[in-house]
Amino acid sequence: MPDLTDKKTAGEIPAQRTETGAAPKQEKARSLGSDAWHDLRRKPIFVISALLILLLIVIAIAPGLFTSVDPRAGDLRLHYLTKPNYSHFFEADWFGYDLQGRSIYARVVYGARASVVVGITVTLGVTILGGITGMLAGYFGGWIDTIISRVTDIFFGIPLLLGALVILNAFTSRTIWSVVFALVALGWTQMTRVMRGSVITVKQADFVTAAKALGAGTTRILWKHILPNAIAPVIVVATIALGGYIATEATLSFLGIGLHHARRRGARRPRPEAPLREEVTTPMTTVIENDQKSDRLDVGTPLLEVKDLHVEFHTRDGIAKAVNGVNYSVAAGETLAVLGESGSGKSVTAQTIMGILDMPPGKVTQGEILYRGQDMLKMSNEDRRKIRGRKIAMIFQDALSALNPVLSVGYQLGEMFRVHQGASKAEAKAKAIELMDRVRIPAAKQRVNDYPHQFSGGMRQRIMIAMALSLQPDLIIADEPTTALDVTVQAQVMDLLAELQAEYNMGLILITHDLGVVADVADKIAVMYAGRIVETAPVHDLYANPAHPYTKGLLRSIPRLDQKGQDLYAIKGLPPNLLKVPAGCAFNPRCDVATDLCRTEIPALHHVTDKDGKELTGRRSACHLWKETLHG
Amino acid sequence: MAENILEVKDLVKHYPLTQGILFKKQVGAVKAVDGISFELKKGETLGIVGESGCGKSTLAKVLMNLERATSGQVLFKGEDISQLSGAALKAVRRNIQMVFQDPYTSLNPRMTVGDIIGEPFEIHPEVAPKGDRRKAVQDLLDVVGLNPEYINRYPHQFSGGQRQRIGIARGLALKPEIIICDEPVSALDVSVQAQVINLLEQLQGDFGLSYMFIAHDLSIVRHISDRVGVMYLGKMVEIGSDEEIYENATHPYTQALLSAVPVPDPTARESRDRIVLAGDIPSPANPPSGCRFRTRCWKAEDRCAEEIPLLAVPSVLEGPAAHESACHFPEVREQAAA
């Protein structure tokens, strides 16, 4: 009996499920090495589960240790036993007696062996058989896939119980292995399907291409690259199937076709998990019923002000301070560009303004977000909802995932008018066409019934813009709106956005990492680093004369003509880990001019003056050495 | 001029479009790469630019023999490698390696850094004897600027820029002569991109590598490339030295592409003379007749729909404008702002 290895696999399976289940990102799934094992050993739930499984296995191996009663010996009188016989209560009585007067407890104990053996061997059998066939079908495709898939199709047509009855009937003497054979023969195709799907995903990964490019053979690719990365869903399905096979074996026994000597009550079947599905995201531009014309502000009056905003994320590894006291404002007709790398907090700030931050793990710990002077963070959800979408709309980077793939574009555009303004179908469609015309989608009338995937990336982004504009908001937040687009299309979309902004005198917050896009459209810029604004300036001043070493470094690292053949200037080091932001100025480990002061004290966002001491309007720098940076 | 290390002749890659479940019938083809010729010289960097769908990534795959060419030749030091298989192909792979775009998917998450960089030695045991491999891997880590002690870590313990260095180390392991870089920095943070570009340039000097550098960031391509080729819908539309392409582009698509690139200089905003192209790139399954760019070109005439322009040096032009361009009406555009 390979009890030790069984225990280990059985014990690891639930752990693996939670790992992959809780965090669908690859990031987490891969920490299943030795450190994950170390982690698990300290978790009480894992230790308890492992002990329970161990107990079951011991029962299966040595039922005699747990009861001295023969499960087959019945005494009819015992069935009518009214008072337990305390001398062997835990040996026989406590589960009661069946109609033939046999101890149910003893029968459960002796039945465990069949359940464990059948459950584990069948699961191993289908996993190996299904895993191999699935891997071959998924990896090679073509006719191999066609043949394997057709065979699995046929097997899926056979009802498990009926099939098992027929197969078992063919055996003259039925043993536990004939049951195992029947269940493996009928069950392997399920694993084939799961494995095939998983392999098809993994084989497209770049690391597989890289291995091929190195000249790796098929066996190496399958064994080293595909299998370890494709096995996770198979293990999940196997754990669910394990319970199912035990139940099936019990059912067969109950029907008198399985193992007569081991009849027992059926095991509980774990609830199957919901099938994995692509999450259908609905557009974020929420719509409110009554559409009043909003009073427009003149250029210059702040439409939105963010004051001393702090946002934290509570993660397993600690608290990530994503936003640490951000201040900015945007007026009607103005374009504020928020420039930063990944992890700078630029998108988190925007999501907080929109009220679409995931909370938890996110949490606003401090600060105000004033929309026309009213703090949105203090508003009721209902009031906030009225602003979202209608007054402040958002455009996302990935238009394809922000549009619902199963509804036509015209339906999604018209939905707001139909549901919230009671427009008829025809009216809503007309409105949708009008919006599509306004964002210059050619042949809007013909394309209104098309689905998102039928549009190109640039056209989808136009549809997102149309959706954001449909309720004539005051402010648009565009989070990397053109990053996913090609340069020639990028130009069209940015032009459109700028034009519509001017036409409707809207405020625009443009979140991006692209210094080129910023230079093209922004009025003023806020540069963010590690959750703080490190510099703000009108666009021309920032490019001409940056007042923070980070900004300076970014501008210097752009390849220029006269640097051809030389090294590019590169900011040294890496962006900080938000769980371990360096003390003092977060940029100090990467800064060329950092002093001891920078390593201890967080710089304030200083007002910036010119050489004569005159304050420069709109310019701030969070650097102890802003003077040297700006004038030196 | 240095010798040609790689010569590509009339390379074609079509992906058949089929119908039917059991008996497949070809109903058309996606013409991802449709007759491309160029050469790569020893020690040179050839930049390839173009928008998504222009076939530049397919070109990389065909050159790497990850996809079999439909027709045409890929000559490595004069030998056609496009139809090789088995041991001969494996031997050739030692000479041409690749650096991928996405440092998150290009490293196997279940392998340690040592296993990832050491895998080339397991596949080609003749390159490094078994006892020396660990040392060889640590040397490679050192070469790409990573701590050699990181050998037992997993990819998820590194940032994007560090992972890209691991990918570069793997590419270098077999001491190749050519490295094909497919968008090697576009997935990285802005402040880290320059570091990786510098590393690539430094390695080129140290090891005498030839690069084919595929990217959509035109300023980075200009910085690193000796020559630049512009692709559109499976065709090379223009190719020349960086100066010829960037200052003296004669193909309207190149001109539009260059003018569309956002310039990190707000003072250029008003003076810029941007060509905003109408519409999207057509489907490579059904490309326009004649010149493929004609549907978006402001210069297009009847001739463009009938006659496919050949990639050749136009006889009417002189000086730096006289470089290979596939346009019936090539001319240098007067730029409003330099």
Average pLDDT estimate for A304-328: 87
Judge: A519–B269 Cβ closer than 8 Å, yes or no: yes
Residues of chain A with CATH 1.10.3720.10: 114-262
Average pLDDT estimate for A176-184: 87
Token duo for residue B337: 């702002």
Share the mean pLDDT of chain B: 88
Residue A121 CB coordination number (10 Å):
19
- Mutation test of the interface with chain A: which of B45, B49, B95, B110, choosing the one with the most A Cβ atoms within 10 A? B110
Average pLDDT estimate for A389-406: 82
Coil vs helix vs strand at B217: coil
The residue with greater pLDDT, A276 or A62, is A62
- Residues A106-156 pLDDT 10s: 888 888 887 888 888 999 999 999 999 999 999 998 889 999 999 999 988
Whether the predicted pLDDT of A58 surpasses 90? no
Partner residue opposite B90 with nearest CB, options A210, A215, A561: A215
Residue A425's pLDDT band (cuts 50, 70, 90): confident
Residue A177's pLDDT band (cuts 50, 70, 90): confident
Interface of A with B in 1-30 (CB under 8 A): 26-27, 29-30
Residue A594 CA, chain-centre distance (Å), reads: 38
Judge: A205–B105 Cβ closer than 8 Å, yes or no: yes
DSSP A260: G
Task: Find the DSSP H helices in A157-175.
Answer: 160-170
Q: What proportion of chain A, given as a percentage, has pLDDT over 70?
A: 83
Looking at CATH, the fold of the domain delimited by A114-262 is given as MetI-like fold (1.10.3720)
- Residues A527-549 pLDDT 10s: 999 999 999 999 888 888 899 99
Partner residue opposite A225 with nearest CB, options B108, B202, B218: B108
Whether the predicted pLDDT of A279 surpasses 50? no
List A304's β-bridge partners, or say none: A330, A371
Residue B171 CB coordination number (10 Å):
27
Residue A86's pLDDT band (cuts 50, 70, 90): low
List B96's β-bridge partners, or say none: B178
Residue A97's pLDDT band (cuts 50, 70, 90): confident
Residues of chain A with CATH 3.40.50.300: 281-522
Radius of gyration of chain A (CA): 33
Average pLDDT estimate for A165-171: 83
Residue A92's pLDDT band (cuts 50, 70, 90): low
Residue B64 makes CB contacts below 8 A (sequence gap 6+) with A213, B96, B98, B180
Token duo for residue A442: 């050619």
Return the pLDDT at A85: 63
Give me the architecture of the B4-19+28-95+176-325 domain, per CATH: 3-Layer(aba) Sandwich (3.40)
Whether the predicted pLDDT of B178 surpasses 50? yes
Place of tokens 């993660």: A315
| Per-residue CA distances from A54 to A7, A12, A219, B39 (Å) | 6, 12, 36, 66
- The residue extents of the domains of chain B are 4-19+28-95+176-325, 112-174
Coil vs helix vs strand at B261: coil
Token duo for residue A504: 């409707």
Residue B62's pLDDT band (cuts 50, 70, 90): very high
Return the pLDDT at B210: 95
Judge: B189–A575 Cβ closer than 8 Å, yes or no: yes
Backbone angles phi, psi at A631, to 5 degrees: -105, -20
Return the pLDDT at A34: 55
Return the pLDDT at A3: 38
Residue A509's pLDDT band (cuts 50, 70, 90): very high
Return the pLDDT at B170: 94
Q: A39 touching B, CB under 8 A?
A: no
Residue B112 makes CB contacts below 8 A (sequence gap 6+) with B151, B152, B153, B154
For residue B50, is it left (φ>0), alpha (ψ between -120 and 50) or beta? Answer: left
Return the pLDDT at A280: 36
Which residues in chain B have their CB less than 8 angstroms from residue A574's CB?
159, 161-162, 192
CA distance linking residue A121 with residue B319, whole number of Å: 78
CA distance linking residue B14 with residue A454, whole number of Å: 22
Q: What proportion of chain A, given as a percentage, has pLDDT over 90?
A: 14
Residues A629, A623 contacting (CB under 8 angstroms): yes
CA distance linking residue B238 with residue A125, whole number of Å: 59
Count of residues in chain B: 338
Whether the predicted pLDDT of A202 surpasses 60? yes
Whether the predicted pLDDT of A189 surpasses 60? yes
Query: ∠B88-B89-B91 over CA atoms, to 5°?
Result: 65
Q: A342 touching B, CB under 8 A?
A: yes
Element (H, E) at A506: none
The residue with greater pLDDT, A457 or B98, is B98
Which residues in chain B have their CB less than 8 angstroms from residue A209's CB?
61, 66, 98, 100, 106
Which residues in chain B have their CB less than 8 angstroms from residue A522's CB?
266
List B211's β-bridge partners, or say none: B45, B179
Residues A602, A585 contacting (CB under 8 angstroms): yes
- Mutation test of the interface with chain A: which of B63, B96, B280, B295, choosing the one with the most A Cβ atoms within 10 A? B280
CA distance linking residue B292 with residue B284, whole number of Å: 10
For residue B86, is it left (φ>0), alpha (ψ between -120 and 50) or beta? Answer: left
Most confident of A172-181, A390-399, B130-139: B130-139
Return the pLDDT at A84: 61
Most confident of A294-308, A409-423, B220-234: B220-234
Residue A254's pLDDT band (cuts 50, 70, 90): confident
Return the pLDDT at A374: 84
The residue with greater pLDDT, A291 or B75, is B75
Residue A82's pLDDT band (cuts 50, 70, 90): low
Which residues in chain B have their CB less than 8 angstroms from residue A23's CB?
none
| Burial of A42 per CB tally in 10 Å (0-12, 13-18, 19+) | exposed
Which residues in chain B have their CB less than 8 angstroms from residue A459's CB?
280
CA distance linking residue B226 with residue B249, whole number of Å: 15
Residue B181's pLDDT band (cuts 50, 70, 90): very high
Average pLDDT estimate for A197-208: 91
CATH number of A281-522: 3.40.50.300
The residue with greater pLDDT, A297 or A325, is A325
Token duo for residue A135: 């891997």
DSSP A420: I
Judge: A207–B195 Cβ closer than 8 Å, yes or no: no
A&B contacts, CB < 8 Å = 190
Residue B227 CB coordination number (10 Å):
21
Return the pLDDT at B8: 94
Which residues in chain B have their CB less than 8 angstroms from residue A555's CB?
264
Return the pLDDT at B236: 94
Token duo for residue A283: 């557009």
Return the pLDDT at A276: 37
Whether the predicted pLDDT of A301 surpasses 70? no
Share the mean pLDDT of chain A: 79
Which residues in chain A have their CB less than 8 angstroms from residue B114's CB?
none
Whether the predicted pLDDT of A422 surpasses 70? yes
Residues A385, A286 contacting (CB under 8 angstroms): yes
CA distance A399 to chain B (A): 16
CA distance linking residue B98 with residue A465, whole number of Å: 38
List B230's β-bridge partners, or say none: B49, B238
Whether the predicted pLDDT of A295 surpasses 90? no
Return the pLDDT at A61: 83
| Per-residue CA distances from A168 to A176, A393, B173 (Å) | 11, 65, 57
Average pLDDT estimate for B296-325: 88
Task: Find the DSSP H helices in A62-170.
Answer: 104-140, 142-156, 160-170
Residue B119's pLDDT band (cuts 50, 70, 90): very high
Per residue in B261-295, is it b (16+ CB within 10 Å) or e — as a string?
Answer: bbbbbbebbeeeebbebeebbbebeebbebbbbbb
Residue B171 CA, chain-centre distance (Å), reads: 15
DSSP letter string over A219-243? HHIIIIIIHHHHHHHHHHHHHHHHH
Judge: B105–A224 Cβ closer than 8 Å, yes or no: no
DSSP letter string over B135-164? HHHHHHHHHTT--GGGGG--GGGS-HHHHH
Judge: A214–B170 Cβ closer than 8 Å, yes or no: yes
Most confident of A246-255, A316-325, B201-210: B201-210
Average pLDDT estimate for B137-157: 90
Judge: A568–B197 Cβ closer than 8 Å, yes or no: yes
DSSP A418: I
Element (H, E) at A84: none
Judge: B195–A570 Cβ closer than 8 Å, yes or no: yes
Residues A322, A576 contacting (CB under 8 angstroms): no
Q: How far apart are the first and last CA of chain B?
A: 30
Most confident of A63-72, A279-288, A587-596: A587-596
Return the pLDDT at B3: 85
Return the pLDDT at A79: 64
The residue with greater pLDDT, B271 or B4, is B4
Whether the predicted pLDDT of B61 surpasses 60? yes
Residues B168, B144 contacting (CB under 8 angstroms): yes
Q: A332-336, A470-474, B67-71: which range is least confident on average?
A: A470-474
Residue B240's pLDDT band (cuts 50, 70, 90): very high
